[in-house]
Amino acid sequence: MIDIKLLRSSPEYVKKAILSRSAKNADLIERIFSVDAAYRKSIQEAEALRNERNAVSKEISSYKIAKKEPPPELTEKASKVKEAMYDFETKAQSFEKELEALIMTVPNLPQESVPLGNSEADNKQIYEDISFKKEFSFKPSDHHDIGEKLGIIDFERAAKLSGARFSMLKGKGARLERAIAQFMLDSHAQNGYEEILPPFLVNSKTMTGTGQLPKFEEDLYKTAGENPLYLIPTAEVPLTNIFAGEILEENSLPIKFTAHTPCFRQEAGSYGKDTRGLIRNHQFNKVELVWITAQENSAKALDEMVSHASGILKALKIPYRIIELCTADLGFSSSKTYDIEVWMPSENRYREISSCSNCLDFQARRMNLRYRPKGDKPKFAHTLNGSGLAVGRTFAAVLENYQKEDGSVEVPEVLRKYTGFDRIG
């Protein structure tokens, strides 16, 4: 949630920043300015009438002290002023409620260092590691075909159980997926992350805290009833909200969490995209990274998080690159994002496998998460999140980058102590 004080003190700056994300935000930002102006005017009118009411009441009291009956026109005036004041207070409450709802739909402001752009085509590559890129003597198959031929992925029976965009791993496939997740968790533990096993169902307040609600309701799975619980779309949601509503001591920061959880997304806006394979399923496993930091440390924290996430691909010896997202491609809660993309030989291109984002105090304001600097009043914390990594996409990348001409797949060396085997097929 953006700071309402900033919106009022620097309206042109806020407007320019929001429009740099998308020109479609123009109507929203203008509506916010309009409602905020009406809200403040109603407050001023109510306050002026309150002062007038107090003056009239004081005059009426002077008559009563003198044991005289106040003039009828004075009591009538007091009644009318009170009624008008009540009307403006009611209007102010209504405008305030609308303003709060509108503010919750405004995306975070991009940092000034974020490159301007109109689409993902304007994102910038800042690093590439192709030291382990393989030159195949055959046409590489995609992970869908590899998995089905090896009998370690069953899309047909998964569809029978649940429908489209679901998968089922079997035998060595299931063990490889588990090994990848375990390797990730162990690696992040060595980098100082505390492992958490959070709830997979959370309430609407928790979803609102990280920005999934109210804007992305259609992409979420939820239970029935008046107070539904939501299946988490990412472990970022419960991890970032752990200290919601609390004030942390500065010496406890940074806090670094990691978690391996299933994630559930309806993928409402992705009709026709990536319907084949493991890239865009309704249910998938992911290892998440979350930081809670003091305000002055979040920029450095983002760089560290990116190095920890990309370090997984480096250890797996799989080519990857790092992309800095432009303003138009930022996620709703992010002020700055780096995507890590993994090389997929069958497509001869990179695919996203992690987004690492600095949200500054955007989420902390929504969930009222603060810390107390020594000798100073509490401040809103900065929160960061990133995939460390998407397990299913890593699984797919291993199959494609380690495939052999005979159809088998070599297991990356760092995973062998977890799998107990060095080859599938």
Q: Which residues are catalytic?
A: 265, 280, 352, 355, 393
For the record, the structure tokens of 369 come out as 């998460």
CA–CA dist 415, 425 (Å, integer): 16
Size of the chain in residues: 425
Report how far apart, in Å, the C-alpha atoms of 146 and of each of 220, 283, 396, 401, 404 are: 31, 20, 9, 11, 10
For the record, the structure tokens of 149 come out as 């031929």
For the record, the structure tokens of 314 come out as 């480096």
Closest CA to 75 of 48, 49, 57: 57
Are 261 and 232 in contact by the 8 Å Cβ rule? The answer is: yes
CA–CA dist 108, 105 (Å, integer): 10
Count CB neighbours of 378 within 10 A. Answer: 13
Strands 194-195 and 255-264: parallel
Please, what's the largest Cα pairwise distance for the chain? 108
CA–CA dist 285, 392 (Å, integer): 6
